[in-house]
Amino acid sequence: MILMKIKPCLAAIVPLFLAVAGCSAGAASDPSPGTSTPGTLRVVAGLYPLEYLADAVGGDRVTVENLTVPGTEPHDLELTARQVAAVAEADLVVFERTLQPAVDDAVDTAPARRALDVTTIVPLVDRDTSVAAEETPGAEESEADDHDHGDTDPHLWLDPTNMIDLAHGLADELASIDPDGATVYTANAETLAQRLNDLDAAFSTGLATCQRRTFITSHAAFGYLADRYDLAQISISGLAPDAMPSPARIAEITTLAHDEGLTTVFFETLTSPEVAETIARDAGLATDVLDPVEGITDQSHGSDYAEIMESNLTALRSANGCS
């Protein structure tokens, strides 16, 4: 029902800044996040990695609101009525279709929106996250196991080169909305791309020579990273972090850890480490953090995407004996 709430100021399409001012005034009774700086484009991002991109590329010309509150988990996000209104009032919504159906609904319901679905720039990959399929080709799989099969993997931001493509695509989108800022957006995207290129080079070099190439994660967030750097992830749960592993799955992982000489079970900052810690204890392994960068909190090992990814690289190098 809240999806039907459409702000009358949407009828004012141009001029842009007048429309921004009008909508902001209408939201003045709500002091929560989303109040935009006058004269800036109001950008709404579905989750942290897209907020990071929008901040970096938009710079001073945008005010960015992240729909996923820091410390909460972005999969299957629910939107408040105020957030639905924020989507409707935004000059640009940057989102990832299928990851957050409530955001998809808000974008589809709001008329005359500029919305950038990042999967139109970087297509999502279907991924089989079962242990058997990834690690023991040809092995028979038990039908009783609650493996995820052929699900679409939303975690495209964990390959830094995908983020470079998104930065350039976002710059183009912002420039089409705000042509006066085109050179700024292009320059900002270029600066970010250099940072991300350095990150990509650090991963390529840092993970080139390792004693092991397999790592154990909580949920199957690291497929794009593994593809990029020739690693293999074994995930305790599937593509969504709330899936509980079956006892059979846990037994499989424990066996694989021993067979492959793995040292570490990785857990995340936004979800409970309990299952990872149990498996690690039973298998005599260490635990460490591998962050899917789905949100930033006080627990994060870094203050932004690039810093957390550098921390991830350090953790992977340590766990896998990379020289």
**By CB under 5 A, which span of 103-111, 221-229, 245-253, 297-305 interacts with Zn ion?**
221-229
Cis omega before residue 15 (within 30°)?
yes
Residue 99 touching Zn ion (CB under 5 A): no
Which residue in this structure is represented by tokens 């199957």? Answer: 220
DSSP 250-283: HHHHHHHHHHHT--EEEE-SSS--HHHHHHHHHH
Q: How far apart are CA 194 and CA 200, in angstroms?
A: 10
Residue 237: CB minimum distance to Zn ion, A: 10
Residue 85: CB minimum distance to Zn ion, A: 27
List helix spans (H) across the chain: 16-26, 48-58, 81-89, 101-109, 131-135, 160-177, 182-206, 223-228, 247-260, 274-283, 305-320
Which residue in this structure is represented by tokens 């990872």? Answer: 276
Residue 100: CB minimum distance to Zn ion, A: 11
Residue 226 touching Zn ion (CB under 5 A): no
Residue 193: CB minimum distance to Zn ion, A: 24
Smaller CB separation from Zn ion, 189 or 221: 221
Smaller CB separation from Zn ion, 54 or 243: 243
Smaller CB separation from Zn ion, 49 or 169: 49
**Cβ(7)–Cβ(85) under 8 Å?**
yes
Q: How many residues does the chain have?
A: 323
Closest C-alpha to 67, from 59, 77, 58: 77
Smaller CB separation from Zn ion, 76 or 108: 76
Residue 221 touching Zn ion (CB under 5 A): yes
**By CB under 5 A, which span of 113-121, 164-172, 194-202, 214-222 interacts with Zn ion?**
214-222
Q: How far apart are CA 43 and CA 50, in angstroms?
A: 10
Residue 168: CB minimum distance to Zn ion, A: 24
- 147-206 residues near Zn ion, rule: CB under 5 A: none
Residue 225: CB minimum distance to Zn ion, A: 12
Smaller CB separation from Zn ion, 93 or 221: 221
Q: Which residues lie near Zn ion (CB under 5 A)?
A: 221
